[in-house]
Amino acid sequence: MSASEDIWILGIHMTKFGKHPTLDSVDLGAEAIIGALADGGVTMADMGILAAGNLMGSGGIGQQLQKQVGQTGIPVYNVSNACATGATALRTAIMAIRAGECDMGLAVGVEKLAGAGLLGGGGKPKSDEKVWDPSGRYGAVANPDGRIGTNTMPGVFAQIGMEYGHKYGGATFELFARISEKNHAHSTLNPLAAYSKAMTLEQIMGDMMIAYPNTRSMCSANCDGAAAAVVVSGEKLRTLSKEQQRRAVKVSASILTTDPWEEACQILPNVNTLTKNAATQAYEKAGGGPADLDLVEWHDCFATAELVHYDNLGLCEEGGAVEFFESGATWRTGLLPVNVSGGLESKGHPIAATGIANIWEICQHLRDECGDRQIEGAKVGLAHVIGLGSSCGVHILEKSGL
């Protein structure tokens, strides 16, 4: 078996996101896997690798899923990489095929998060003393959460959005709310979204404030869900049926980055730099640029995050994110639709599933299988995900020409 640079998504599936009190992670993950295999017209016996992503569980999700969908002796990689877990699992399967270890592989991400509450910190003082005493391996560089600043995700991304506004101007509370209004409107056409409900600007701005300028409606929704994808080498794909070839989606670029060294990088996450680096590498790998994209699905964990990523992914000139949004380009009917699924604010964010679910949305459009929310003539799409800690996954996908 030879190494392959030519990688395709053969089958892909996501479950309904939301509350699933009667299903556990294995149930949801198995549903996504079985759906992806059926979508690709293959079985577990065809798989040469399984990469399984789960963040909040106890470990070993891949082996647990095997017992549910079929144990075939293949290598299993259990992946945990913050919110980039699903994208990392997919990249793991892609790299195995590129290395020539197999010609077909499976990636899945699953999470049970309904009712989990606020993630990423806790806001509790380190001690009852008035003086903060650094301790432990990271004591000298750990952020003193609960004393100054915040380590909760709404607070971190609120600061990121506010910093952009201070630097370039125009990023008002109302503007962030309008970004959220767009995504909630898009969700009404997505039956798999956790919340398929339009919200007015007044409702969004008047909702409970979580971390200014992010109200509750401007935050990603914790929920249950899973997504899975079957990837295949180009050589193997050419041996399959014409219908399988027609529906396959080419992976033009699969990139994963982490924070580069910076003066403050040991304390403050920099989602801008690692995203810009991932986008630059992805465009170079795919042989194109932002002008070639027909739609984008990215990590709008908060409305503030969506704004800065217009800039980070090169959809506008540096500092031009506000003007780009104001142009109407990012609406479903605009020049470059962003988060047609409703994004994480409406579709939901079961952490490990999100990276593959974003790719599922792109694939549906490139296959012309998105129904009422279809972006007509879509040929190229980009899926992006951020995991603080930090990591960034970017995948560029192309419509099949086979």
In whole angstroms, give the CA distance from residue 162 to residue 29.
Answer: 37
Q: Mapping DSSP to helix (H, G, I), strand (E, B) and coil, where does residue 347 land?
A: coil
In whole angstroms, give the CA distance from residue 85 to residue 216.
Answer: 24
Angle subtended by helix axes 303-312 and 153-168, to nearest 10: 50
* Residue 399 CB contacts under 8 Å (≥ 6 apart), including other chains: 249, 250, 366, 367, 378, 379, 380
Q: Which of 225, 371, 358 is nearest to 297 (CA)?
A: 358
User: pLDDT tens track of the chain, all 402 residues?
Assistant: 556 679 999 999 999 999 999 999 999 999 999 999 999 999 999 999 999 999 998 789 999 999 999 999 999 999 999 999 999 999 999 999 999 999 999 999 999 999 776 665 444 444 555 665 666 665 555 555 544 556 678 888 999 999 999 999 999 999 999 999 999 999 999 999 999 999 999 999 999 999 999 999 999 989 999 999 999 999 999 999 999 999 999 999 999 999 888 776 555 678 899 999 999 999 999 999 999 999 999 999 999 999 999 999 999 999 999 999 999 999 999 999 999 999 999 999 999 999 999 999 999 999 999 999 999 999 999 999 999 878 999 999 999 987
Question: What's the whole-model pTM score?
Answer: 0.93
CB-count exposure of residue 232 (10 Å: 0-12, 13-18, 19+): buried
Domains assigned to the chain: 7-116+223-251 (3.40.47.10), 153-218+252-399 (3.40.47.10)
